[in-house]
Amino acid sequence: MTPVKNVQSGKKNSAKPKAVGFKGVNILRMSRIAKLNLQRERDKENYRRPPTETTENETEVNIENNDMELDFGENPEGDAPDDTDGSDNPGSAGNENPQSTDANEENYMENQVDMLTDEGSVKPDIMVETEQNSCSDNLDVAASPPSSMRKAHRAKVTPCPATGSEPSNIFEAFWHPTDLAVKPVMPIRKADKAVDMIPTLPFEALTAGDYTKLPKEQMNAFNSQILQSLSGTYQVSQKQNTIRYLEMLSMNSDAANKITNGPIMLLLIKMLRLSKTSVLRVQIASLMGLLIRYSTALDVELASSGIFNALSDGLRDKHDKLRRFCMATLGELLFYISTQSDQDNKEINTQESPLKGNRPATSWQVPSAVIALVSSILRKGEDDLDQLYALRTIDNICSQGTEWTSRFASQDVIGHLCYIYKATGKQESTRLIAGSCLARLSRFSPSCIHLILEKISFRDIASTLIKGNGREQQINLNILNSALVNSHTVTSMNRYILSLSDDKQLVPGLISLIEQGTDVLRGKAFLFVALLCKNSRRWLPHFFCNAKLISAVDRFGKEKEGFIHQCTEAFVQLVASLVPGILETVSSDIQQIMCGKRHGPVTALAGRAHPKSTIHLFPVILRLLGSASFKHRVVTGHVLLQLANLIKILEAPFQARDDFQMTLLRVLEAATEEPSVILDEHTIFTSRIIPSLSVLYNGNKDGDARFLCLKILSDVMIVIFSDSSLTSDEQILTDLKSISQRHFLPLYPSFAEDEDPIPIFAQKLLVMLMEHGYIKVSDILHKATVSQCFDFLLGDLSNANVSNVKLCFALASAPEMNTHILSQLQVVRRIGNLLEFVAAKDMDDFLEPTLEFCRAFIIRGTGSNRSGVALSENPALLVDSAFSMSIAVDQQTCVTDICDFGGNMGTFLELVGNSDPQISNLASDCVVLLSKAAPREATVGLLTNLPKLSTAMDLLKHESSLRLIRLLYGLAFSCRQYLAQGMILSISVSALMRVEALVSVFKGSNDSLLADAASYLSAELQRLPRCG
């Protein structure tokens, strides 16, 4: 054991260095306090009486040193280490003992500086976070010591969710575990070598580990020695040593449990009440606080020990330090009781509150007088440290749910908390604890929200979101969100929200907070924005027409877990839920205009309170539909029905319709960008939206509106046709036929003559409807319509599209089509130019439809579709005279300019060698068919392009294919025509020799058809004259 004298010798060595730390102390403040305390003692007044009106205002005092405990000490020059004892001489008790007590408290509370200077920081060793997943989840909250964690006490939190139209999880979403974090009320004991030394004791001291391992009999005997040293005739200094020893044991949770729930605590309570020595009472109160703080369980028998009365008496004492330690100890006790109330409720299987005196005698009961006493310490003028401990007590207790917060949700308490929170003269950490109390009260007792807003304006709270520190921002976001969620309980909420309209920094400040803040602040700011917009739609354009906010939503919406994910999900859900209400308002406004209740273009589309409020909400919906996070949430079946109703309303003219229709059409366009929307709600589109779009198009003066009507119609039809399951549905088939015949076809001439790009979309849709059989060629066989379809060939071919070509192919290949009409168009040369353009630009998607287009025209040139099919399948018929005689047709029934294709023979031959078999097949078919439709021009084309022909034959030599046979018979036919017509052409001898060489190879082919064709061609080639 360490002698007492060694400890005392350290006093002189440590006194001077301790005084050095006072360089920032405001001596004026210390003098005022000392003077005031002396005056009160002389007048025998209550130390806790509020200051008189003549006392200087608190805000005039400047505390430069954060160490409030040192600032408020009455004897700074007499500071001593923790384990300094009083003198054995009774006469010295009045002089040394007070200094000793002050020194004890100085050391016990020295670490209070850290707690005061950084309240916002969360320290793992002193904070227990609560985990809250839903409104009904249990929360583990406990003020835990640095060395060992108090066993979790389950406390059922029963917040009062708002009853509004917002999503059910919005109230739970914005609460983060740190919002209900608790911290010890009892000051942290600062580690010190002198403190850790075991003082001189009248019995043999044991370590905490040995103490907890003692058998019951030995434990009782050891406790008896401790009790005797405290209650016997020992001097005060010896009792102080015993108390210090117990403080050392209390740092061990197991030891603290045994001491707290045994006879030692009962004696300490008695000594606290009956002792006349202030210094001893201070140490006893401190010891009790440490024991309760480090204990994990308190026996209910302690409830009848008079502990509440003892601590309450200490709170009323004139000694500052005694009051402070009593308040801290009471705070730890009340918090422990609050964590046990839910367990007790389960045990007694009752829903009654543990605070109303209706619990069994074995349970903890907190007298109302104790709650009132704690609340009274918040009054203006009370000791700052008393208030700090009271605030910590209330803050911790209010983390336990509705039944506990109700004890502090009074007008007086709210008023005191608001005053402290706003007081500029208070320590920042003290202010923030008061703010945390307000936030927790607003959470679990919504009825007190209006009391808070009466003391602190809604605008002032919101302004701190821009300029406050992180902890203050989190507190104020909690208060604001609770107020907005429970806006139905605050009669002046509309006025409060309106007061924010003049704050030009609010919107950019909140968006900046969302972009740059911590995840906790981001999530809470997201939900504040959503709740603000939910309570007042006028805020929607301010936030959601800002690209930064939408971008942030999409960015954080990718998070798969965590608090930011939880908040973003709730944010998107809540904002999306506002869209039906917006559309309902707009629909109602338009109907009022049509009924004559509103007049003039300015008031058209007006909102309930502002002339242009509803029209300005539509860009919000557009922005939401442009967001990946919102699109799937916003576009629902109900919303589509509302849009369909609005379009139906637009069928009838009314003032300012033109201004509104563009926004509505863009909203609908954005809604249909997702194919799943159309597929899921196809009936709404086919039966309601598309018919209304055709009506809106007809006679509309706005070109952009007409284009959007057709584009939406086209987009919807494309998606529907892409799903075979829909096109097999009888009702869908009926709707599509009705759309095609009643709404599309009558408008097609207008589509074709309208501004670009309307004709392009119309042709694309027309081709699709024809391919699916909803429109027949006979439906559009009007000379003017046919001419319009071919007009694209007369313009810049680079502007052509596949739909143009497919439509013309459908017309040229339709049996109902009159060849005379096609002949009058005189477009064959332009079709050939299109083929060469497409081939030169390697436009693969154009090649096949363009070749089909050419082939259809060439078949028309043969005079008979039957002969064309026969030649394609059996090219040997080309040199069969009997076949030629049987299909002789009057040239007046053919396309008169079909011979213009002769100039494109070289392109056909090049495409025969294309790697795509389909393209190669079509090109070879065109070669043989053109030889029949325009013999002379085809002959010239083939014989002058023998190099290309030989290349194509060489590419096909390894294939015994129909394509190669077509080329052989086509060349044979040309040789006969050359000699029969006496034509004079410059034929390349070298190319002719390459052809003859290939033909000689083909003659030996195992394919009889190919060998026959090669033999026939070989004979014809021999007849050709050789020139040079």
- Given 333, 352, 376, the domain boundary residue is 333
- Residues 603 and 722 occupy one common structural domain: no
Could you tell me if residue 759 is inside a domain?
no
CA-closest candidate to residue 692, choices 730, 734, 731, 661: 661
- Residues 914 and 988 occupy one common structural domain: yes
- Distance separating alpha carbons of residues 207 and 254, to the nearest angstrom: 12
- Burial class of residue 424 in the structure, from the number of CB atoms within 10 Å of its CB (0-12 exposed, 13-18 middle, 19+ buried): exposed
Site of tokens 């367990």: 343
- Residues 231 and 305 occupy one common structural domain: yes
- Residues 990 and 874 occupy one common structural domain: yes
- Distance separating alpha carbons of residues 413 and 372, to the nearest angstrom: 9
Could you tell me if residue 290 is inside a domain?
yes
- Residues 713 and 651 occupy one common structural domain: no
Amino acid at 900: D
CA distances to 11, 66, 149, 189, 252 from 322, rounded to whole Å, are 23, 21, 27, 16, 24
- In the chain, the largest separation of any two C-alpha atoms, in whole Å, equals 152
CA-closest candidate to residue 921, choices 930, 912, 931: 912
Q: What is the pLDDT of residue 427?
A: 93
Alpha-carbon dihedral of residues 612, 613, 614, 616, nearest 10 degrees?
Answer: 80
Could you tell me if residue 562 is inside a domain?
no
Alpha-carbon dihedral of residues 922, 923, 925, 929, nearest 10 degrees?
Answer: 130
Based on its alpha-carbon atoms, the radius of gyration of the chain, rounded to whole angstroms, reads: 47
Neighbours of 639 (CB within 10 A): 21
- Residues 894 and 1013 occupy one common structural domain: yes
Could you tell me if residue 416 is inside a domain?
no
Q: Residue 999: which domain range? A: 824-1028
- The three-state secondary structure class of 76 is helix
- Residues 728 and 876 occupy one common structural domain: no
- Given 619, 642, 671, the domain boundary residue is 671
Q: What is the pLDDT of residue 349?
A: 44
- Given 608, 636, 671, the domain boundary residue is 671
- Residues 679 and 656 occupy one common structural domain: no
Could you tell me if residue 402 is inside a domain?
no
The tally of domains found in the chain comes to 4
421 and 431 in contact (C-beta within 8 Å)? yes
pLDDT beneath 70: ranges in the chain: 1-169, 189-196, 341-362, 596-615, 783, 881-893, 960, 1026-1028
Neighbours of 339 (CB within 10 A): 26
Could you tell me if residue 741 is inside a domain?
yes
- Residues 855 and 926 occupy one common structural domain: yes
Residues contacting 391, CB < 8 A, separation 6+ = 378, 417, 420, 430, 433, 434, 437
Could you tell me if residue 770 is inside a domain?
no
Quick one: DSSP state of residue 355? T
- Residues 663 and 733 occupy one common structural domain: no
- Residues 90 and 207 occupy one common structural domain: yes
- The three-state secondary structure class of 711 is helix
| Angle, CA 208 vertex, CA 207 and CA 214 arms, to 5° | 90
- Residues 894 and 915 occupy one common structural domain: yes
Neighbours of 445 (CB within 10 A): 24
Could you tell me if residue 508 is inside a domain?
no
Q: What is the pLDDT of residue 607?
A: 39
